[in-house]
Amino acid sequence: MVSGSSLTHWGAFTADVTDGEITSVRPMAGDADPSPLLGNLPGSLRHRSRVTGPAVRRGWLENGPGPTDLRGTEEFVAVSWDELTELLADELRRVVGAHGNEAIYGGSYGWASAGRFHHAQSQVHRFLNLLGGYSFSRHSYSLGATGVIMPRVVGTHDDLFKRSTDWNVIAEHTDLMVCFGGIALKNTGINHGGTTAHPTRDALRRLRDRGGQIVSISPLRDDVEGDCEWLAPRPGTDVAIMLALAHVLATESLADREFLDRYCTGYERFERYLLGVGDGVPKSPQWAADISGLRADDLIALARRMASSRTIVTVSWSLQRVRHGEQAPWMGLVLAAMLGQIGLAGGGFGHGYGSMNEPGLPPLRCRLPTLPQGMNPVRTFIPVAAVSDMLLHPGETFDFNGRRLTYPDIRLVYWAGGNPFHHHQNIPRLRRALARPETVVVHDPYWTAMAKHADIVVPSTTAFERDDYSGSRNDPLLVAMPALAAPHADSRDDYTTFAALAERLGFGEQFTEGRTAQQWLVHLYDKWSAELDFTVPSFDDFWAAGSLRLPTEDGLTLLADFRADPVDHRLGTPSGRIEIFSSDIDGFGYDDCAGHPTWYEPSEWLGGERAASYPLHLLANQPATRLHGQLDGGATSQHSKVQGREPIRMNPADAAARNLSDGDVVRVFNDRGACLAGVVVDEALRPHVVQLSTGAWYDPQDPTDPGAMCVHGNPNVLTADIGTSSLAKGCTGAHVLVEIEPFTDPLPPVRAHMPPHVVETGRHSD
């Protein structure tokens, strides 16, 4: 047995390793609230779901590239690395030569590894850029709506997170936190690039000890852990509630008119809507009560408390993963502006507290080492959640952020570092879309659903089978990540794969610049350290020490510099101020996104006609037992399963009405699809609301049928594949209406973590 230390997106740790497998883990010393997700690491390096070597779908190997609905159903044939490299290089040449680089879609997501060098997104984009470019995606499934709306109304997106109000400032100065979507501690275990401290729980304790109060507005009680005032509205009605609070501020002369005049633009236009001047519908507390199911008197009292206290208004990321998702963060910002506390210590606005372990953490005073990706000569892109639309409708035009764009005609999908069967809505539609390209290439350490739907599968190493280092822009440590084990079976790191491909395609020297992976680590570190205005140790000394503490900018309050001087620190909006009314957005003429925050009736909510057929509102939130779908086969994730299925939480009244009890397996369904799940009866949900987290690996009962029931519990077989609006086209997979019934047939086996049949042909390493 040997021991070693490393870093994940959910924490730093020391591991014991025996015979190439992690057998136990211990969190980094000093982490006050380590993530339970570390429990998924033991057993992960030699898990049965690992891809053991290069593999090609039999139909593609025998018949050549072309559209097919057999992806996800056929067996694979093992090939050597040299064979894979030749096949893949030839196919890339063919596609570029016949259709141009725009015909390649370079799909990736940045969560595959916390490493700075062995970062799948950076590696695949560097390779494809040198190939001549590729069609790409913008924004993320997590923040598709916010990434478009917030730069237009407050002039920034990233600064809302990396320069958010410090948790220490909130703990010391905030009197009242009004949290739309709560502050879910389960999500604060995670940060891109790794995280070595988890301060949220302690900050909330300190706030309460000082007399501060928390109001959680969420259908789920445990979206705030511990003492809080819980208001449980109908899901999807947060904007109506915010408008009602704003109505009280406006009509009772509690709005800070001086702040609105000096720091904002367009309030008068918005107030006409708020008071119902144009549509005859004042957005009053009673109006919002009828929509949300909350009491009008409670909303009035809350608005008055907010105006009389040092108040921060927070909006979780989940609220913008719905139809018209642009409205909630925009309206939350407007509500905070009306209170006039933006830029004051402990007051103002926050977006993403409880969504990830970045908001509230001090940012670094320096950047981090980064692998250059180069420039993409192709300018064609899609919003990231429009993958199925792109594949199904080549040449069709669509609206996005004030522009009229065209979906490219994609012939080859090259995916590295992600699994869209976790992120993407309406999996049956995604499966049909993936039948359209001529070739699908996937790099992955595991046989995820995306790998099973590939034509060419490239076995990648995990983050613990190669040397790397990493850190986050809001974490003080750069952490060494020495390999804990040798690469499993015949897997390789992506850099080695791309270097061989680049050599075969004639640009090997440009890709590698003559460096091995280890030489790149030293080069990137030395280049980075030479540009710093402070001294850091040599690479060898850093590696020997295991980590390096970097300076952070502590005590920040979001937009404090703007408040102090709105001229010298004008925002990056057309007016330089907070745009309560945006002339630009208004000028786009979209009927699903107006020039100011607006209440739009959701397509999936308990107040609509669809609820007559599907009377339960399912919240597909992030899981407490894994990061997205990563390591779903790990012990922590598996321990949460019910008879092998993903757990679905139900209010006791809803369970009793369907004769259901803890531990029952149920069929969750609507007119789009169905999945099995295991019942957990829980009073911590509003009645008629159920909760089924994303991330259970997709497992169709009949792999040949795109509409087949998922026997494991992936909620994205139920969700609608429609964008937030014409403005952002973000992901809307967080909310969906369903019905639930007992599943009385014999339980089908869960095969999600089983590899497909791979025919061995005497493959050998090259």
Domain for residue 38, yes or no? no
Same domain, 628 and 584: no
CA-to-CA distance for 106 and 501, rounded, in angstroms?
Answer: 15
**555-574 tens-digit pLDDT:** 999 999 999 999 999 999 99
Does residue 632 belong to any structural domain of this protein?
yes
Give the pLDDT mean for 304-322: 97
Contacts of 357 (CB under 8 A, 6+ apart): 187, 188, 189, 190, 191, 195, 198, 200
Mean pLDDT, to the nearest integer, of 468-490? 97
628: domain CATH number is 2.40.40.20
Same structural domain, 288 and 252: yes
- Which is higher by pLDDT, 29 or 238? 238
pLDDT at 764 exceeding the cut of 60: no
- Reported as a pLDDT band with limits 50, 70 and 90, residue 762 is low
Based on the fold, state whether residues 614 and 694 are members of the same structural domain. yes
Domain match, 655 and 734 both? yes
| Same domain (yes/no): 678, 626 | yes
Same domain, 195 and 237: yes
Query: In the predicted model, is pLDDT for residue 156 greater than 70?
Result: yes
Q: pTM to 2 decimals?
A: 0.97
Integer Cα distance of 534 and 519 in angstroms: 23
Asked whether the predicted pLDDT for residue 135 surpasses 70, the reply is yes
Q: Is residue 542 part of a domain?
A: no
Statement to judge: residues 562 and 683 lie in one domain: no
- pLDDT, tens only, 736-761: 999 999 999 999 999 999 999 999 97
670 and 564, same domain (yes or no): no
**Same structural domain, 646 and 560:** no
Q: Is residue 467 part of a domain?
A: no
Residue position matching structure tokens 């892109």: 381
Active site amino acids:
109, 111
Mean pLDDT, to the nearest integer, of 404-417? 97
Residue 112 — pLDDT band, cuts 50, 70, 90?
confident
Mean pLDDT of the chain: 97
The 10s digit of each residue's pLDDT in 689-738 is: 999 999 999 999 999 999 999 999 999 999 999 999 999 999 999 999 99
Domain containing residue 733 = 609-742
CATH number assigned to the domain comprising residue 247: 3.40.228.10
Q: Which amino acid is at 740?
A: I
For residue 236, which of 163, 313, 288, 295 has the smallest C-alpha distance? 288
Q: Detail the DSSP E strand segments found in 99-232.
A: 104-108, 136-138, 176-180, 213-217, 229-231
> What stretches of 66-136 show up as alpha helix (H) in DSSP?
81-99, 120-131
- pLDDT band at residue 113, thresholds of 50, 70 and 90? confident
Q: Is pLDDT at 765 greater than 90 in this prediction?
A: no
Is residue 541 situated within a structural domain?
no
Pick from 121, 126, 99, 95: nearest CA to 110: 121
Structural domain total, the chain: 2
Same domain? For 220 and 297 the reply is yes
Q: Is residue 735 part of a domain?
A: yes
**545 within some domain:** no
Whether residue 459 contacts residue 51, with contact meaning beta carbons closer than 8 Å, is answered with: yes
- Do 625 and 584 fall into the same domain? no
Q: Is residue 53 over pLDDT 70?
A: yes
pLDDT tens-digit profile of 580-621?
999 999 999 999 999 999 999 999 999 999 999 999 999 999
Same domain flag for 177 and 276: yes
How far is residue 156's CA from residue 144's CA, in Å, rounded to a whole number? 14
Please compute, for residue 7, the number of CA atoms within 13 A of its CA located in the half-sphere on the CB side.
30
Nearest CA-CA partner of 365 in 491, 501, 531, 497: 531
